[in-house]
Amino acid sequence: MGAKIGSEKLGNLYSGGPVRKRREWRGLKDTIYDFFRWLGIMLMLGKFIVRPRNLKAMFRYRWMSNYLFVPMMIDRHTVGLRGEQLRIAHAEYDLVAKDVAQLLGDCFRADKRCGNDKKFSKKIVILDENEMFTIMCGFPNLKCVSWETAACYVSVLLNGASMTHYLDVVQQMGLPGDVCPMPAAEAGIVIDDDAPIYGACAVQCNTTCDGSLMGNGVMSRFYERNGIPCFQIAAPLRHTEDGVQDYAAQEIRNAIKFIEDNTGEKWNWDAYFKNIKRFNAENKHRFGWMEMSRTKYPQVFGANLALYAETTYMAVAGRAPAFLKADEKITKLAEKAYKKQNLVVKEHRHRAIIWGVQAQYYTDFLPWLQNCWGILPLVDMLSLVYFEKCSENDKDQAIYDIAKLYQEMIMRNRTHGGYEVLLDDLWRFVEYYNADMVILWEHISCKALDGMHGLFEERAREHGVKLVWVNHDLMDPRVVKRQAIRDDVNRYMRSVLREEPLDPTLENIDDEKSY
């Protein structure tokens, strides 16, 4: 127990109940730092709840109770970290938490059932949770509020079991249990009448999969019944082909026009280019961190990269200056740590590419990988998005850029577009990042990934890469428990590689009830 990396036996912190036995001891300096950041989050939570409309929402919406677990969620993702690494993680998560608090605040201010601020509501465009928010970069006077992000996406990060009720609701309605739980849960929220009602209009998109596309039908009916006009961007699936780009660009033009018609606002090119410059700068930072992961001393990687990049790239999309500031801070910290040749865990045994779709109820699996087995999750599939720079002054090209971003949004850029982007690209990244292992999330309801199962195995053998399948069901921890996820790795490490864990106390932990 102390400032030294790996000095704490982390498995001993689990009590078998909802909270851990005690906070992690990281040495005096880091423990104090971590404690005050924790305190900051508690204060933010307190400030949020004292607002009457937010308090009302806390009792109105079942999913709102999950937000009480924000501090625990951050603790789970900072476990085992010290020094610069700890500060990088807090720079990321604390800002994301603040951003989500803002999202919730806007949501309940406009919501008919809570704040009911009609004037404010008329300035809101609703987007899907898994959709690029870039289309809002040219509407500086409008707010973009995704209730799906608040109710579903973030809720599961905070409490893995938070969507099981809604999954039961939608399955009771007749939806089979084998479809992707994310759109299914969102449909369940609507059917359960647990979605906030607000907004001037909504813009949906066929995001990652057939399930997501089909879930939109349920949502659009909900919007229609509440007098909210809805537009669907049908972005092309074969996004690598030139022949579909004109169509994709026209979809974006149509969507912009739809927003203009329904809000009275006009698309503002100055605002767009200002935001997109920031977006490009943010991406530059992300590429820099990922380049660092090619070396022996990666600094920004794993869950910290995945969750932060998702927020910055997709939901913020250059619209919030605070994220660029945070990026600059993270880069400075990472460079400092890199110069010192800091290790994140006491021994880097394997370098892994994380491919497939993460278990949303167990995003802290990646910290577990590094702490328990010394497997460094260098980069993940969801962070490997769009490497090109968007135009910062050409209006015609800009429409094509937005269209491309919509086609190649997170996850969609791999689940659609043919086997080349899902299967072939993986081995290119393995080589590029000098990885010796692939942790392949097998989200059992993700048909796009399941459909390549056999060929992943064959290619892994051809390339001589260690391939570890890790099964999960995205938002339903009842189907594959967290320990079952860990056991997929434990079994491989012990029976195939004959290795001993770095921290044996983490091999089997009783965290089923823990937040």
Partner 1 sequence: MKDLKHLYYFEHLLDDANNELVRKAQEEGRKCVGSVCYQVPEPLINLGNVFGVRLRAPKTGSLEMGTYYMTSFLCEFSRALLERALEGGYQFLDCILAPDGCTMINRCVENMELLKINEKPDFFYQYLEVPMKDDLNALNLYIGQCKEKVLKPLHDKFGVDISDEALRKSVEEHNKICRLITEIGNYRKEDNPRITGYEFHIICMCTYVAPHDMLIQKLEETLEELKTRKPDDNFHKKYRARVCLVGSEVDDVDMVKLIEESGAYVAADRFCFGSLPGREEIILNDEEDVLTQICRHYMHSTMCPRHMNLPKWKRRKEFVNEIAKEYKCDGIIYEQMKFCDPWAYERMTGTYVMREEYGYPVLSVDRPYAVGTSGQLKTRVQAFVESVEIKKIQQGGKK
Residues interacting with partner 1, by CB under 8 A? 170, 173-176, 178-180, 187, 204, 206, 209-211, 213-218, 220-221, 224, 230, 232, 234, 236-238, 241, 243-244, 246-247, 250-251, 254, 415-416, 418-419, 423, 442, 444-445, 447-448, 450-455
Q: How far is the CB of 173 from partner 1 (least distance, A)?
A: 6
Q: How far is the CB of 139 from partner 1 (least distance, A)?
A: 21
Q: Closer to partner 1 by CB, 95 or 248: give it.
A: 248
Q: How much is the CA Rg of the chain, to the nearest whole Å?
A: 22
Q: In whole angstroms, how far apart are CA 348 and each of 168, 292, 333, 376?
A: 42, 15, 20, 7
Within 13 A of 368's CA, how many CA atoms are on the CB side? Answer: 21
Dihedrals phi, psi of 142, to nearest 5 degrees: -105, 155
Q: Closer to partner 1 by CB, 19 or 237: give it.
A: 237
Backbone CA torsion sign across 120, 125, 128, 129: negative
Q: Closer to partner 1 by CB, 95 or 209: give it.
A: 209
Q: How far is the CB of 455 from partner 1 (least distance, A)?
A: 6
Q: How far is the CB of 178 from partner 1 (least distance, A)?
A: 5
Residues, the chain, total?
A: 515
Q: How far is the CB of 445 from partner 1 (least distance, A)?
A: 7
Q: Closer to partner 1 by CB, 23 or 453: give it.
A: 453
Which structure tokens are listed for 432? 């590029």
Dihedrals phi, psi of 124, to nearest 5 degrees: -110, 135
User: How far is it, in rounded angstroms, from Cα 99 to Cα 115?
Assistant: 19
Q: How far is the CB of 187 from partner 1 (least distance, A)?
A: 8
User: How far is it, in rounded angstroms, from Cα 101 to Cα 45?
Assistant: 8
User: How far is it, in rounded angstroms, from Cα 471 to Cα 490?
Assistant: 13
Q: Closer to partner 1 by CB, 216 or 312: give it.
A: 216
**Burial classification of residue 246, based on how many CB atoms lie within 10 Å of its CB (0-12 exposed, 13-18 middle, 19 or more buried):** exposed
Q: Closer to partner 1 by CB, 171 or 490: give it.
A: 171
Q: How far is the CB of 67 from partner 1 (least distance, A)?
A: 29
Which structure tokens are listed for 356? 């497939």
Cβ proximity of 3 and 29 under 8 Å: yes
Q: Closer to partner 1 by CB, 275 or 415: give it.
A: 415
Cβ proximity of 152 and 182 under 8 Å: yes
Q: Which residue, among 111, 102, 14, has the nearest Cα to 56 in the 3D structure?
A: 111
Q: Closer to partner 1 by CB, 9 or 238: give it.
A: 238
Q: How far is the CB of 58 from partner 1 (least distance, A)?
A: 30
